Amino acid sequence: MTQGNRIVVILGSIREGRINDRIAAWTVGQLKAHGFAPEIVDPADPELLPVQTGDKQAVQRLKQRMGDADGFVIVTPEYNHAAPGPLKTLIDAVNAEWRARPVGLVSYGGISGGLRATESLRIVLAELHSVTLRDTVSFASPWRRFDEAGRITDPEAAEAAEAAMAVFAHRLRWWADALADARAARAYDPEDS
């Protein structure tokens, strides 16, 4: 088992007053507890916000931050049965950085816990030659579950979420290591048939 896989955690919302920060904080804490080295990419970051309009310098900054990642975790809300538009724009802004890397999905929303957003992302990420984890971590009605610091307030809910994250982290590590070994053995070329 490799310790310290570099995992880029991508926030899915740029809305003011978003709860995305709380869930991302919890996710980062959990990833650290499982031995990962997470780094956040926030599309609302002033250096990255211009990605939304195709700014070449902002896209280059995004590529640099994502380029040597062992894998990704996307923390996304669900808006109208899908992932938010700004997240899709960020995903589409880069290409090679996604290839042959695992992507874990943490979602939240109303009663569905954002699961429709994760399913909408699986199609996109497959097209970019990423491997999405089968297991997700999802939160229904997170505004009632998380405090301002990103802690889950109900002990039973916290225990269940941590158990789900343990499985998620195990799968993420396996795929990150397996795909890193594969990329080291042979460069991944999506045109190679």
What is the CATH classification number for the domain harbouring 68? 3.40.50.360
**Residue 9 gets which letter from DSSP?**
E
> Does any domain span residue 17?
yes
pLDDT of residue 90: 97
Let me know if residue 84 belongs to a domain: yes
Does any domain span residue 143? yes
Tally of domains within the chain: 1
> Residue 59 domain-assigned?
yes
Q: Domain of residue 79: give its range.
A: 6-185
Q: Is residue 47 part of a domain?
A: yes
Is the residue at 175 inside a domain?
Answer: yes
Query: b/e per residue, 37-56, with b = 16+ CB within 10 A?
Result: ebebbbbbbeebbebbeeee
- Whether 190 is in a domain gets the answer no
Cα–Cα distance between 159 and 178 in angstroms, integer? 29
How many C-beta atoms lie closer than 10 Å to residue 124's C-beta? Answer: 17
The pLDDT of residue 191 is 85
Question: What is the C-alpha to C-alpha distance for residues 20 and 134, in angstroms, rounded to an integer?
Answer: 22
> What is the phi-psi region of residue 152: left when phi exceeds 0, alpha when psi lies from -120 to 50, beta otherwise?
beta
pLDDT digit string (tens) for the chain, length 193 residues: 455 799 999 999 999 999 999 999 999 999 999 999 999 999 999 999 999 999 999 999 999 999 999 999 999 999 999 999 999 999 999 999 999 999 999 999 999 999 999 999 999 999 999 999 999 999 999 999 999 999 999 999 999 999 999 999 999 999 999 999 999 999 988 888 6
The answer to whether residue 192 is domain-embedded is no
In angstroms, rounded to a whole number, what is the distance separating the alpha carbons of residues 126 and 99? Answer: 9
pLDDT of residue 1: 41
Confidence (pLDDT) at 190: 86
> By 3-state DSSP, what share of the chain in percent is helix, strand and coil, each rounded to 5?
45, 20, 35
